[in-house]
Amino acid sequence: MAKIAQEVASRSTLFLALPNLEYLHRGGRIGRAKFLLGSLMKVIPLVIMRYGTQAIEPLGKGRNIQQVNQKIIETIKADMEKSGAKKIKALIADSGDNPEATKSLKEALEKNIDCEEIIMGKMGCEIAHLGPGGWGIGYYLVK
């Protein structure tokens, strides 16, 4: 059973979009200058966590939901091409107050990527530093 879990985890990735920089600032993840500048410019940072890295790393940023979701789609396509995967299974979720972002991501995913399954959900307290308005996708490459 552990071998199967490791196999699934090795083909899994998580993206998180953080439209409210206040929680990154409060948590000490960004300084005051970045917080103020990013808030004024309405920047939405995008972070990624891949199996094996045990770290959340910056992937890019966008000025709106569509730009962030497009970066997610491009990265998933690149991962699929690199691994030879034909489909993905995905879980799309938000922190409870951004259904526009998750709906837009689901539509973009269905339009651009062959999905075996898409599950919609809500994030809980396990993503405490995401803050209001955050959304993300976890996916598994199906070979």
Report the CATH number that the domain containing residue 52 is assigned in CATH. Answer: 3.30.1180.10
pLDDT band of 61, cuts 50, 70, 90: confident
| DSSP H/E element including 139 | strand 135-142
Query: How far apart, in whole angstroms, are the C-alpha atoms of residue 143 and residue 133?
Result: 33
Evaluate if residue 94 carries a pLDDT over 80.
Answer: yes
Which tokens is 85 given? Answer: 């995967």
DSSP 29: S
Q: Strand runs (DSSP E) across 63-124, as ranges?
A: 87-94, 115-122
Q: How many domains does the chain have?
A: 1
Per-residue pLDDT, averaged over 92-99, amounts to 85
- The whole domain housing 10 covers 2-142
What is the chain's length?
143
pLDDT score, position 126: 57
User: What phi, psi does 42 have (nearest 5°)?
Assistant: 55, 50
Give the predicted TM-score (pTM) of the model. Answer: 0.85
